[in-house]
Amino acid sequence: MRKVLRGAVVAAVIAPAVMLSVGSASADSYNQRTDQVGPTGASASYVLSGTTANGDAYYHQVQNSAGPEGTTSTSTNSTTADQAQPSGIAGLLQNLFG
């Protein structure tokens, strides 16, 4: 009888902790990265998207390349967060001048 009671107590203590950890680890995300190097240049790109713990969604895409004619870099950012930060020139100016 003691073993059954002890097992029930252990299960009652562990079950909420297991359910809490499963709930907090269920964020969805997607990551992809591509790197290429050749005799005339190099390029790299990546995509990140997913959700945060507080339910906000985000998307981030970057493409960089360099070759004999120069370099280029492009990015696309999107978020549903209330505290979204501007990117590009607007973000640079905000960071420099507040």
Q: Quick: pLDDT tens for 14-58.
A: 555 544 444 444 458 889 999 999 999 999 999 999 988 888 888
Predicted local distance difference test score (pLDDT) of residue 65: 95
Give the pLDDT of residue 9: 46
Helices and strands counted in the chain (H then E): 2, 4
Count other Cβ atoms within 10 Å, centred on residue 40. 9
Residues 32, 54: contact at Cβ < 8 Å?
no
Rounded mean pLDDT of 5-19?
Answer: 50
Lowest model confidence (mean pLDDT) among 38-47, 60-69, 79-88: 79-88
63 pLDDT more than 50: yes
